[in-house]
Amino acid sequence: MTGPAAPTPSALAALRPLPLTAVRLHPDGLLGGWQARNAAATLPHCVDQLAAYGNLDNLRRVTGDADAPYAGMWFADTDVYKTLEAAAWELGRSGGSAEFLTDVAALLEKAQDPDGYLNSYYQVDHRDRQWTDLGFSHEMYAAGHLIQAAVAAARAAPQVLASQQVVAVARRFADLLVRRFGPEGTEAVDGHPEVETALVELYRLTGHRPYLDQARRLVDLRGYGRLGPGRFGPRYWQDDTPIRDQTEVTGHAVRQQYLLAGAVDVAVETGDNDLLAAVERLWRSALTTRTYLTGGQGSRHKDEGFGDAYELPPDRAYAETCAAIGSFHTAWRLLLATGKAHYADELERVLYNGIAASTAVDGRAFFYTNPLQLRTGHDGSHEDTPSQRLSWYSCACCPPNLARLMASLHAYAATGDAGGLQLHLYAAGRIAGHGRVVEVRTDYPWNERIAIVLTEAADGPWTLALRVPGWCRDARVTLNGWPVRVAAEEGYLRLSRTWQAGDQVELVLAMPPRMVAAHPRVDAVRGSVALARGPVVYCVEHADLPAALAGALFEDLELDATEPLRLVTSDGLAPVTIGVPLRARAAPPDGLYSSCHQPGQGRPGAQPARPGSTPTATVAAIPYFLWANRAAEPMRIWIPLATPAG
Amino acid sequence: MTGPAAPTPSALAALRPLPLTAVRLHPDGLLGGWQARNAAATLPHCVDQLAAYGNLDNLRRVTGDADAPYAGMWFADTDVYKTLEAAAWELGRSGGSAEFLTDVAALLEKAQDPDGYLNSYYQVDHRDRQWTDLGFSHEMYAAGHLIQAAVAAARAAPQVLASQQVVAVARRFADLLVRRFGPEGTEAVDGHPEVETALVELYRLTGHRPYLDQARRLVDLRGYGRLGPGRFGPRYWQDDTPIRDQTEVTGHAVRQQYLLAGAVDVAVETGDNDLLAAVERLWRSALTTRTYLTGGQGSRHKDEGFGDAYELPPDRAYAETCAAIGSFHTAWRLLLATGKAHYADELERVLYNGIAASTAVDGRAFFYTNPLQLRTGHDGSHEDTPSQRLSWYSCACCPPNLARLMASLHAYAATGDAGGLQLHLYAAGRIAGHGRVVEVRTDYPWNERIAIVLTEAADGPWTLALRVPGWCRDARVTLNGWPVRVAAEEGYLRLSRTWQAGDQVELVLAMPPRMVAAHPRVDAVRGSVALARGPVVYCVEHADLPAALAGALFEDLELDATEPLRLVTSDGLAPVTIGVPLRARAAPPDGLYSSCHQPGQGRPGAQPARPGSTPTATVAAIPYFLWANRAAEPMRIWIPLATPAG
């Protein structure tokens, strides 16, 4: 899924993406810094890992240029495609070398079968099994990532000859899909959605209607059990109920999000209001019953899946990085389709928390799962439950997915059309479009002030729309120093006037530290609170315990809610920390369970503070996305509330 | 693992099992009723399922008497062995037909290779892979279950000729193991412990020392990484650290418990105090950090494993039935080895809760996992997370494991030697041994009174030891109607005298309903309490909500701790229910998370009862082991505590 540029106009699109080059983020801002780190570290790291882990050699086996055994997962080609997509976005963003794009394009062209088929796992050892196991083969899924890489190359790096080469390869595969699985072919879907959104993007790029029709066909054919039960039942791959009838998100979280993203694309391009409404309903189901405070989704390790409603364990949160990226992509599409600010709110939440936490500060190590708690003595010896980020995974879907998102991140900051500009993500940078140029100056999210300076205003009146995040209770705006009394409408402050170059808008989004409580049906965090400031969720990490608490077991800490929270700026890992009043419970008895014979004889679980508790001390909570960048140590987002003594 | 009869005397055995025929439980008592149900329903059901699912045909493929494809898991033979063991115990307990034993014995003898090898998966299609994948092949594990079936047949049904046939088959396989993996053979262990305890039992039966030596060798060779990392890392199969150095239970819960049981057997028979101490230490680690209130163990679905310390989610409890049975077997061995009452306490807890809950009231459906909570709208469409018991599983290890335990359950009620009798589990029945006979008359655990009548007293003084369960705060005893002032010593009331036939002892174990709180480090049930009475854990099931609460969402119920608990006897599903004061919270907002900006501005998670709460109504909580015997409906053991209004 891509930062779209110039989609086909549709009756169902409330907002329009800006041209891909319209937004530039400054590397000294947080988001621009992430982009710079991605370019300098993550993307080269991915390229290196593809060579080290044999992904490129897998393709060279097809061309006869390598003879090592096939390496990695059967869908390892997709790591190549996602890295290729990232490289293409990065070429468009910052220029630089086109070597990887050029090399891989040539390799793909050479490896592709004459009929358009391309999949290194099935082209050498398993030719007889092509298209025989659509549930798990990931063949269309892989085609989708190839197509998305091609679309990115065409949009972001049209000047590179290899871009057209990749588009040609992708089109040949897409044409094969249409022949084989289109109206003249088999009724079938892939176990892992992804090609749906890719085909719509390819249609947007080429205008070739059969691609859109095929995407729609795949959305409509899903939900009738064609994939069979598989290992986890048909809900795992969203094949038990057609999406239009589905009432809750279900199954594998990444599959569900990718399907939703594709369905929005189909709905928008075909003017299908019912389909769009179905996605909005499912989105709401996800957000109100199955989403972590970080925006992460997926509560179960067993099937990487959504669990039941309100099943949101912080310790065993799966919250796969790819699911967070999928949620980001779906949120973006719903924002464009509807213009509703709450989709942008989610874009922001999942970006600063669920997505950002997955990458180490050095850009070269990653979480696949993103738990909200790590206990003392956690067994992090397996890659399913690591205590720290790893440089790569046996299933390495997440790192290159991060690379492609970060390389295109600027494309999600704003939208615009003849009527004005809409700012959704605040970051230091420059936005140009439709004859207007604005500079955004801010240290957001560390600082609550966002200055917007018009450097080119264009003629005539237009509207500057500024999103007021859902977490913000006090948004104020000034124009050239004068307060502007305007209320947010549906999540946006809209300033309409004939702008002049030099006009300055300042938006202040008050960001006191806050405590957050979960819905009482979320059993797993009952009696606990989380800490947040602005869009950023905070956590307490063992490394930050002061001497007064260092001797306590991390799991015995509780929050003294009689003391205030305090903001502290820092030169350390986190620019802004929240000072949290914590104390350690008195050492409790060894046994796991204790009895009292009647309610009147004492209320277990709600005792007054025991005499042995430590005095309250202030602990610097850090942004969750920065956790696990020091030694592997316990961490938690949800902190048990102490019951006041007496 | 078996209800041992006549183990070799050892310096390390504090208690002695009674002869297998010494205890008979009355079918009108709860435990005797379970045994009767097992004989009438569960065991025949297992025999039927083995035929229906192809387990017997798998073996007939080896003998050339069937040619269907191999069916089921690669260790499907073990379902046959466990059913065979159950049939043998049942022959000893109640007599009846020896047809299954006779038929299977002949089949096994015919299927066995000349060298002793027997495994229908590896004897037909995969001969070249014999002994090549010890981590997952389960070949020694299967041999262990064969051996245990043989030991059971020899002890419980020596009169049946086929018993000696099975013993001969088992010995040939055991001899092969000794040749191949003994001091003259390869240093190797099996990924799934189980053969260790079986070999000790075969040694006890035969006196053939190499079997004991091999068991010890397997215990000692484990923990050095010989099995490799597998899919889940070496901790999964307890191969990362030698058991003597292990400080915490780890990995796959069934594997860990079976290893512990085998290690106790080895320790006892070889007089190895250090090994016994290691097991006691690990047991304590399990009980103080990784055991559910039901005695269930295993907190993760992904690897069927123990999680981190205090990671005990009620909804995603794995608590595999086989792990509970393994815990029962380990507890029994530790009880015999040490005489410590707390092992008998655990025997009782896991029996009445973790184990009992796995079987339907009709004895023909079973849980594999045993969650402590089921939410409204739970997706029970897959056998990994069923909402009700299923008649069989694709991996059907648990049902025949239940059958063999239930058929031998009487053997765990009491121990005895020249010095006296020790009663551990209370159940209506008759205990005979060492010239003494006592009748136990009780409706325990529904009734707190246990009458013990001596019908044959034997000569001279001896001691009747009566366990006082750890949950009991008020135990009283009378002898022939006169109160006896004796304090429990280390968990047992010891009555020493020269007994007369006709003497009557009455033990009263006070059983008020009680609330139970979890250790504050158990995050998953913070702010909640459970209900219990005597050894039985209770739960609230949706079917029992009164009209006043029927309209509420089950997840909105909370316990009004200002009202008392009440016991109610019933003619329904449960003889005794606990009347629990519940109310439903006012409908909360839709969003999953809500903020308050400072602690002083309100304490989220600890609000007073909101105006919209329903009035408190009494709900009949039922024993957990009886849940899911009506429609598939929500259930919970841990109930959120309401905060008093005002």
DSSP-assigned letters across all residues of B152-166: HHHHH-TTSHHHHHH
Q: Same structural domain for residues B491 and B635?
A: no
B486-B489-B494 Cα angle (round to 5): 55
Q: Has residue B331 been placed in a domain?
A: yes
Q: Does residue A16 form part of some domain?
A: no
Residue B152 near residue B85, CB atoms below 8 Å: yes
In the DSSP assignment, the letter for residue A252 is B
Stretch (H or E) spanning B455: strand B449-456
pLDDT band at A596 (very low <50, low <70, confident <90, very high): confident
Q: Do A316 and B300 touch (CB under 8 A)?
A: yes
Q: Of the ranges A154-158, A389-393, A608-612, B404-408, which one carries the lowest mean pLDDT score?
A: A608-612
Shared domain for B578 and B472, answered yes or no, is no
Q: What is the pLDDT of residue A353?
A: 98
Q: What is the mean pLDDT of chain A?
A: 94
Which pLDDT tens digit goes with each residue over B62-102? 999 999 999 999 999 999 999 999 999 999 999 988 999 99
Q: Which residues does chain B have within 8 Å of residue A315's beta carbon, measured at their own beta carbons?
A: 307-308, 311, 523
Residues near A559 by beta carbon (within 8 Å), at least 6 away in sequence: A529, A580, A581, A582, A639, A640, A641, A642, B599
In chain A, DSSP finds a helix count (H) and a strand count (E) of 16, 22
What pLDDT score does B304 carry? 98
Cβ-based contacts of A561 with chain B (< 8 Å) = 599, 603
pLDDT at A37 over 80: yes
Which chain B residues touch A516 with a CB distance below 8 Å?
593-595, 604
pLDDT digits (tens, 9 = 90+) for B332-345: 999 999 999 999 99
3-state SS class at B115: coil
Distance CA A535, CA A472 (A): 9
pLDDT at residue B4, rounded to an integer:
43
Contact B641 A603 (CB under 8 A): yes
Q: CB of B322 within 8 A of CB of B145? A: no
User: Is this prediction's ipTM beyond 0.90?
Assistant: yes
Structure-token pair, residue B540 = 């609230």
What are the pLDDT digits (tens) for A391-415? 999 999 999 999 999 999 999 999 9
pLDDT above 60 (res B456): yes
Inter-chain CB proximity A523 and B523 less than 8 Å: no
Q: What angle do CA A478, A484, A489 make, to 5 degrees?
A: 110
Which of A193-207, B3-17, B131-145, B341-355 shows the lowest per-residue confidence on average (mean pLDDT)? B3-17
Whether residue B345 is found in the same domain as residue B433: no
CB-CB under 8 Å, B591 with A519: yes
Instruction: Please list every residue in chain A whose beta carbon sits closer than 8 Å to the beta carbon of residue B618.
Output: none
pLDDT greater than 70 at residue B600: no
The last residue of a domain, from among B474, B491, B509: B509
pLDDT at position B433: 87
How confident is the model over B464-518, as pLDDT tens digits? Answer: 999 999 999 999 999 999 999 999 999 999 999 999 999 999 999 999 999 999 9
Per-residue pLDDT tens digits for A340-373 = 999 999 999 999 999 999 999 999 999 999 999 9
pLDDT of residue A14 exceeding 80: yes
The per-residue b/e assignment along A49-79, b for 16 or more CB within 10 angstroms, e otherwise, is bbeebbbbbbbbbbbeebeeebbbbbbbbbb
% of residues, chain B, pLDDT over 90: 91
Residue where a domain terminates, one of B509, B531, B546: B509
Whether residue B401 is contained in a domain is answered as no
Q: Across the interface, which of A518, A585, A640 has its CB nearest the CB of B592?
A: A518
DSSP letter for B350, please.
Answer: I
Phi-psi region of A578 (alpha: psi -120 to 50; beta: other; left: phi over 0): beta
Subunit contact B638:A309, Cβ cutoff 8 A: no
CB A642 within 8 A of CB A607: no
Judge whether B402 lies within some domain. no
Same-domain pairing of B240 and B137: no
Cβ–Cβ under 8 Å, residues B596 and B602: yes
Lowest mean pLDDT among A506-510, A605-609, B14-18, B542-546: A605-609
Given a cut of 50, whether residue A545 has pLDDT beyond it is: yes
Q: Which of B511, B573, B516, B514 is nearest to B314 (CA)?
A: B516
Residues B629 and B541 in one domain: yes
The answer to whether the Cβ–Cβ distance between B595 and A375 falls below 8 Å is no
Question: Can A304 be counted among the known catalytic residues?
Answer: yes
Indicate whether B47 belongs to any domain.
no
- B82 in helix, strand or coil? helix
Look at chain A and report how many structural domains it folds into: 3
Structure tokens at A12: 């169902």
Is the pLDDT at B196 greater than 80? The verdict is yes
Is residue B16 a part of any domain in this protein? no
> In chain B, which residues have their Cβ closer than 8 Å to the Cβ of A377?
248, 308-309
**Residue A494 and residue A553 in one domain:** no
Tell me, yes or no, whether B273 and B366 share the same domain: yes
The tokens for B139 are 């070949």
**Residue B589: band (very low, low, confident or very high) from pLDDT cuts 50, 70, 90:** confident
Name the DSSP letter for residue A463: E
Q: Residue B592 is nearest to which of A300, A519, A562, comparing CB atoms?
A: A519
CA dihedral sign, ordered A597, A599, A603, A604: positive
The torsion defined by the Cα of A497, A498, A501 and A506, in degrees rounded to 10, comes to: 0
Q: Do the domain assignments include residue A15?
A: no
Q: Do B75 and B214 lie in a common domain?
A: yes
Structure tokens at A220: 């409509």
Read off the pLDDT band of B163 (50, 70, 90).
very high
Task: Look up residue A354 and give its DSSP letter.
Answer: I
Which pLDDT tens digit goes with each residue over A194-207?
Answer: 999 999 999 999 99
Distance between CA atoms of residues A148 and A205, nearest Å: 10
> Given the structure tokens 């073996």, which residue do they identify?
B59
Is residue A455 located within the same domain as residue A534?
no
**Residue A113's pLDDT band (boundaries 50, 70, 90)?**
very high
Residue of B nearest to A247 (CA): B377
d(CA A424, CA A414) in angstroms, rounded, equals 5
Are A308 and B382 in contact (CB < 8 Å)? no
Is the preceding peptide bond at A445 cis, omega within 30 degrees of 0?
Answer: yes
Return the sign of the alpha-carbon dihedral for residues A130, A132, A138, A139: positive
- A379 and B595: CB-CB below 8 Å? no
Catalytic residues of B: 304, 397
Q: Which residue has the tokens 């009886």?
A: B626
**Which among B509, B524, B557 is the end of a domain?**
B509
Geometric angle at alpha carbon A446, from A444 and A448, rounded to 5°? 60
CA distance A512 to A474: 10
Whether the upstream peptide bond of residue B44 has omega within 30° of 0, thus cis, is no
Alpha-carbon distance B538 to B627, whole Å?
9
DSSP per residue, B388-435: S-BS--SS--HHHHHHHHHHTGGGGSEEEETTEEEE-S--SEEEEETT
How many A-B residue pairs are in contact by the CB < 8 A criterion?
249
CATH of the domain at A488: 2.60.40.1180
Render pLDDT for B204-248 as a digit per residue (tens, 0 to 9).
999 999 999 999 999 999 999 999 999 999 999 999 999 999 999
A541 and A498 together in one domain = no
CATH of the domain at B336: 1.50.10.20
SS3 B197: helix
Q: In this complex, which of A313, A564, A598 lies closest to B524 when CB atoms are compared? A: A313
Cα separation of A566 and B585, whole Å? 33
Q: How far does the CA of residue B309 sit from the closest CA of chain A (Å)?
A: 7
Tens of pLDDT, residue by residue over A233-260, are: 999 999 999 999 999 999 999 999 999 9
Residue B565: strand, helix, or coil: coil
Same domain, A272 and A209: yes
Q: How many residues does chain A have?
A: 646
- Which of A85, A304, A348, A448 is catalytic? The answer is A304
What pLDDT is recorded for position B203?
98
Show residues of chain A in contact with B521, CB under 8 Å.
553, 555-556, 588
CA dihedral B600, B604, B608, B613 (to 10 degrees): 150
Residues of B with Cβ-Cβ distance to A517 under 8 angstroms: 593-596, 604-605
The residue-averaged pLDDT of A250-274 equals: 98
> How far is Cα B54 from Cα B44, in angstroms, rounded to an integer?
16
A125-134 tens-digit pLDDT:
999 999 999 9
C-alpha dihedral sign at A353, A355, A356, A360? positive
Task: Give B173→chain A minimum CA distance, Å.
Answer: 34
Among A65, A60, A103, A67, smallest CA distance to A83 is for A103
Asked if residue B403 belongs to a domain, the reply is no
- Which member of A590, A640, A643 has the closest CB to residue B288? A590
Q: Residue A606 and residue B527: Cβ atoms within 8 Å?
A: yes
- In this structure, are B528 and B589 located in the same domain? yes
Amino acid letter for position A604: P
Domain span at residue B433 reads 414-509
